[in-house]
A and B are shown apart, each in its own frame.
Chain A
Amino acid sequence: MIPRHFQITVALVLLAILISGVIIIHMTHKEEALTLQAAEAVPVAPIVGGRQEHIQLLLAYDEDQALRWRSADVFLPVDRNLRARETLRSVLAQYLQMPSPHPLAKGTDIKDVYFISDDTMIVDTTAAFADGHPSGILLEELTLASLIETLTANVPGIAKVKFLVDGKERETLAGHADLMSFYQTAVVHELAKEFE
């Protein structure tokens, strides 16, 4: 006859093993999901066929409330639309890395860019760009100024830019900065100067 206290001990050990197993499986799944999410958030690799160029990016630095020019080597296609998209993506890539001078939400990306006339461009962003953008007048304006100034510095001939979110118009980026209007690049240039 097995003593009762021994039976209880064995039962408790078995129960502990079972609970540990469940916790480990749960943690493994969670880790896999996080890894997958992070992988999805990384911007798409440069298009093969473009040539590497040394370009200037105007980046936002939240701590200093400033915009600063930084250089980067980026693969840029010859096509004007693709060149504009990759230029914008190279700015977002800087914000999505850790640590970031101006953190943006995972999943922030440029879905598409297209010209509706020679000098007027529409930038279509992912929903995460606006949905996950930190709310605040300065933070939102720095994002837009950084993108528009970098764009005009590297893709000549753009006079007006408008942003869409997931293919649709939105009133503001995150409650403050105007997304309904077309931005004249000359006006944004003057605005950006205040932060440089």
Chain B
Amino acid sequence: MRWSRTGVGLAVVALCFALAVSGTAPEQQLTVYTSQTSYSLPALDRGGKSYVSVTDLLLPLGATKPILKGKEWKFALNKAEVRLTKGKEKATIGGKQVELGGKLLVENGRVMLPMVAVLPVLGRLLNTTVDYHQPARRLFVGNTFTRFTADFKNGEQPSLVLSFSQPVTVNEDHVEKRGILTHTDTTTLIFAKDPVVSDLKTQQYGDGAIQSLSFSEENGAALLTVTGNKQLQVVCSDDGNTITLQAQAPEVSAVPPPVRPSVPSTETQKRPLEFFVMIDPSHGGTDKGASFGGKLVEKDITLRLARELRKELEERGIAVRLLRESDVDLSLDRRAEITNEQRVGIYVALHAGRPGKGVRVYAPLLTDPQQPLAGRFLPWESAQSGAISRSQTVARAVSDELRKKGLTVTSLSMPLRPLNNIAAPAIAVELTPDEDDPQSLESQKRHNNVATAIALGIVQVRNQMEGRL
């Protein structure tokens, strides 16, 4: 009895300590953004691995509640049945096995999924693109992104105007002021519920009241941090589409302001609309594309090549987005819709197919050219009409670079979907197996050669577009 009392006492102390510690550490969370809503759910540590509740994750997306049948937990989403078994490292989704990257846990009737399994599971279940920013635990369903431009105005009262593509919410809880007594003040805007993304790391503005703007992501939120040597006033306007950070009015003082090094000569530094390339790894999910014998199918080759091309473009300072990151179904019309919504710089569709050898580069060809309608709308079937000459320029530049690499290149104009539905320069690049050897489509060296050449062609055209040549 005496021992058990001691044990209970120790347990209470340990519990209090644990509660105290957990109280100080911020709760880890995953945030999911969809076009209709956004929601956060706790990420729980279980044996060094992060877990999320299946119900919390999937119920808002329209899934049925998991039901225990025998040893299996079953639920459905988008007509696909999901079967999960406690302790197993694999799930069955729509009859196919998916690796979970850890054991499935069940705690008090709650099914817990390893965090690493979130992307493959959602990729299988949702008929749309799923983009997962893993380190920050931010999950974007269906290209739901809010982007922004920053407009810095220098003067007596320097200000930074952030214009967002969709309304954002920054209330008092989301504004943190830090470092009041230090040399540099920092204002951080935290966006927990808005899918704010950016390729911006840090933008320098000088050394005054507003010195730099940086973007980062952590713990299911996006952070915009502005540094300077004064506290800033944060004002939201334009129904949440604009946030202005402004230095307080200078106080009247007999002491002259300290002399500062000169700031950039332009009064206004405006970030132009960002140029980015949309890479479309064609096919995916149930649409396998061309088959090359065995398990080699077009949808896998295009995804691999897309990743290689992204790497090559990013190394050359060009922002890139992929239309699909995993093996998901995505209709051709949806691919065009996403591309048009995001106002891409250049769209590149990747394919693989027979016959022939080398690489084929396709520019769009309108089968029934129509005059654009008056006003803001373009006919869907000939949305490409306004961009077709630029598409041909891109196709020529890419073909030239491929030839420089010693590859056999065929350049053609073809009526392909979704190229004709895209209102921006668009091309398709098709790999063909060398000497009818399908394995050549998997060659890393070949992928690298082709990706490098496409990237060089795009850099050249981008420079022409921006008048750098």
A interface residue numbers (CB < 8 A to B): 62-63, 65, 134-139, 141, 160, 171-172, 175-178, 180-184, 187-188, 191, 194
Q: Mark B351-374, 1 if CB is under 8 A from A, else 0.
A: 101111000101001111100000
Which of chain A's residues have a CB closer than 8 A to the CB of B381?
Answer: 180-181
A159, closest chain B residue (CB): B368
Within 8 Å of chain A (Cβ to Cβ): is B218? no
Binds A, one of B57-65, B285-293, B391-399, B446-454: B285-293
In whole angstroms, what is the CA distance A171 to B415 when docked?
12
Q: Across the interface, which residues of B come within 8 angstroms of A172, CB to CB? A: 332, 417
Task: List 21 A–B pairs whose Cβ atoms lie within 8 Å, in order of A's numbering.
Answer: A62-B355, A65-B355, A65-B410, A135-B289, A135-B291, A135-B353, A136-B353, A137-B428, A138-B354, A138-B360, A175-B283, A175-B287, A175-B290, A177-B414, A178-B416, A181-B381, A182-B367, A182-B368, A183-B367, A191-B365, A191-B415
Do the beta carbons of A138 and B368 come within 8 Å of each other?
A: no
**Is the beta-carbon distance between B354 and A139 smaller than 8 angstroms?**
yes
> By CB atoms of chain B within 10 A, which of A160, A175, A194 has the most?
A175
Return chain B residues, CB-CB under 8 Å to A183: 367-368, 415
Q: Are A191 and B414 in contact (CB under 8 A)?
A: yes
Which residue of A63, A137, A184 is within 8 Å of B414 (Cβ)? A137
B381 to chain A, nearest CB (A): 5
Residues of A within 8 A of B362 (CB): 137
State whether the Cβ of B413 lies closer than 8 Å to any Cβ in chain A.
Answer: yes
Q: How far is the CA of A62 from the CA of B432 in the complex (A)?
A: 13
List of B residues within 8 angstroms of A177 by Cβ: 414-416
Residues from chain A with Cβ under 8 Å of B412 in the complex = 194
Give me the 7 closest cross-chain CB pairs, A-B, nearest first: A136-B353, A135-B290, A181-B367, A183-B367, A182-B368, A178-B417, A178-B415
State A141–B365 Cα separation when bound (angstroms). Answer: 12
CA distance A52 to B298 in the complex (A): 44
Instruction: Scan residues 384-431 of chain B and give those whose CB is less than 8 A from a CB of chain A.
Output: 410, 412-417, 420, 428, 430
Other A-B pairs, 15, CB within 8 Å; known A137-B353, A182-B367: A65-B410, A135-B353, A136-B353, A137-B416, A138-B354, A138-B360, A141-B414, A171-B331, A171-B333, A172-B332, A176-B417, A178-B416, A180-B381, A184-B368, A194-B412
Q: Which residues of A contact B332 (CB under 8 A)?
A: 171-172
- Chain A contacts of B289 at CB under 8 A? 135, 175
B351 partner residues in chain A, CB cutoff 8 A: 137, 176
Question: Taking A171-B331, A176-B351, A187-B365 as contacts, is the C-beta distance between A181 and B420 under 8 angstroms?
Answer: yes
> Which residue of chain A lies nearest to B419 when distances are taken between CB atoms in the complex?
A178
* Contact pick for A160, options B368, B415, B416, CB 8 Å: B368
Q: State the CA gap A134–B413 with chains docked (Å).
A: 20
A137–B412 CA distance with the chains assembled, in angstroms: 11
Q: List the A residue with the shortest CB-CB distance to B411.
A: A194
Contacts of B428 in A (CB 8 A): 137
Query: Of B298, B367, B417, which is within 8 A of A171 by CB?
Result: B417
Chain B proximity of A184: nearest CB distance (Å): 5
Which residues from chain A contact B410 at a C-beta distance below 8 Å? 65
Interface flags for B267-300 (1: CB within 8 Å of A; 0: not) read 0000000000000001100010111000000100
Chain A min CB distance to B417 (Å): 5
Q: How far is the CA of A135 from the CA of B351 in the complex (A)?
A: 11
Q: CA–CA, A182 to B360, complex, Å?
A: 25
CB distance from A103 to the nearest CB of B (A): 11
Q: Contacts of A160 on B, CB cut-off 8 Å?
A: 368
Interface positions of B from 172 to 209, Cβ below 8 Å from A: none
Using Cβ atoms and an 8 Å threshold, which residues of chain A touch B420?
Answer: 178, 181
Question: What residues of chain B lie closer than 8 Å to A175, measured between beta carbons?
Answer: 282-283, 287, 289-290, 298
Q: Which of B333, B415, B420, B430 has the most CB of A within 10 A?
A: B415
The reply to whether A137 and B430 contact each other, CB–CB distance below 8 Å, is: yes
A192 vs chain B, min Cβ distance (A): 12
Decide if A176 touches B365 in the complex (CB within 8 Å). no
Q: How far is the CA of A138 from the CA of B420 in the complex (A)?
A: 17
Contact status A138-B355, CB under 8 Å: yes
Check A65 against B353 for contact (C-beta < 8 Å). Answer: no
Picked from A63, A176, A184, the residue with its CB within 8 Å of the CB of B355 is: A63
Quote the shortest CB–CB distance from A137 to chain B (angstroms).
6
- Contact yes or no, A138 B356, CB < 8 A: yes
Whether the pair A136, B367 counts as a contact (CB closer than 8 A) is no
Choose among A135, A137, A184 the residue that contacts B367 (Cβ–Cβ < 8 A).
A184
Interface contact A139-B353, CB-CB below 8 Å:
yes
In the complex the two chains form, is B369's CB within 8 Å of A184's CB? yes
Nearest-CB residue, chain B, relative to A142: B355
Which residues of chain A have C-beta atoms less than 8 A from B356's C-beta?
65, 138
- A134 neighbours in B (Cβ, 8 Å): 290, 354
Contact of A187 among B282, B353, B367, B417 (CB under 8 A): B367
Question: CA separation between A181 and B428, bound complex, in Å?
Answer: 19
Q: How far does the alpha carbon of A191 sit from the alpha carbon of B364 in the complex, in Å?
A: 12
Query: Known: A138-B353, A138-B356. Is A187-B366 also a contact (CB below 8 A)?
Result: yes
Task: Name the residue on B nearest A183 (C-beta).
Answer: B367
B298–A135 CB distance below 8 A: yes
Q: Which residues of B contact A191 (CB under 8 A)?
A: 365, 413-415
Residues of chain A contacted by B360 (CB below 8 angstroms)? 137-138
